[in-house]
Amino acid sequence: MEQHRMNRRSFLKYCGGIAATLGLSQAMVPQIVRALTTDNRPPVIWLHFAECTGCSEAFLRATDPGVADILLDVLNVTYHETIQVACGEKAEHNRDQTVADYAGEFICVVEGAIPTANNGAYGMIGGRTMLDIAQTVIPQAKHTIALGTCAAYGGLPAAAPNPTGAKGVKDAIGVSTINITGCPPHPMNLVATITSYLLNNQMPALRSDGRPYFCHGDTIHSGCPTPHGCMEGYNCKGPRTYNNCHQQAYNEESWCIQVEHQCIGCSEPGFWDAHAPFYNPMWVPMFSTYRPTAIPHEDQKTASCNRCHGGGIFEEEEAVQSDPRRFQQAMHREHEIRLMTNRSCANCHPEAPGGTYEQIIDD
């Protein structure tokens, strides 16, 4: 390991990134350095339940510093099922021994939802249910961090019809959690949360839903740099998604909207159901063909409903709209997303693939 440890310059740069994430002055970097190099850092036990391991994969793909530096040198992770060398009974023994040795002192990071139906029978590890492991280990932690939307709110495993009874940690076993959400969350948000604890001997300020303000205090839309123009009218969930993706590019490279993909609101409770459908059958060709040549909403004054509907009620509704752009965005959401249709699209967008010129007969 010694030859793979990060050099001082990389470590200082990383500490500067932690300070920025927490909204702290760069003058705090020396204190962050001391906090992350002390021998008194609490051990971290990282549990995996019903999930895709995507949250860990986000760490595994960290490049500067690398995963070994973060997990071992910065966070003091002593148990992690995915990357540890031990396996089988030896791994289980290591986990239980750490819990026994550091009861009331360790930080427990939970990745994944907890199946609760039929006494947890739908999720097993080493002959024990995930529910049983959670009930045994988590209450002994000083703090529990639910990492990712699955651990916080149930995520995909809890999506309808949820046959396994999957739930977030708090709902499953009644233990208060610090929820760092996203699918996956940014690795820096976890490191910053633990660093805040080391600096202040307490976890960062939390919203009522258990999420830290520093990374979930503002909507993506409120600070989005709109690298390809605002996609609010194109099923982007940024206006109601609280995360710091726009401030923390993954590996300092990119994030969803930067690659011209709308936000799907992956950090929000119940997003798999509440935000569906993420796409409709015409979305991809429509996006690649129409949008690059679209007239910006702010340059349009109004939109015509009569082209498709022919009835006066729609024009009357349009006439009372104080913000034509908002009205057009609502039209896009209704026609492209909720109705899952491309009927009559060619009346306004002749180049839309699959769009028709038909007249819609309203009841």
Positions annotated as catalytic residues are: 52, 55, 150, 183, 221, 224, 230, 236, 245, 256, 263, 266
Q: 299: which 2 tokens?
A: 């340059």
**DSSP per-residue codes, 260-308:** T-----TTSTTHHHHT--S--TTHHHHHHHTGGGPPPGGG-----STTT
Cα four-point dihedral sign 212, 214, 220, 221: positive
Residue 231 burial by Cβ neighbours in a 10 Å radius (0-12, 13-18, 19+) = buried
- Judge contact between 223 and 250, C-beta under 8 A: no
Residues 49, 220: contact at Cβ < 8 Å?
A: no
Tokens at 293, concatenated: 């040549």
Q: Which residues pair with 128 in a beta bridge?
A: 125
CA 247 to chain centre: 13
Exposed, middle or buried, 26 (CB in 10 Å: 0-12/13-18/19+)? exposed
| DSSP letter for each residue of 40-62 | TPPPEEEEE-BS-SHHHHHHHT-
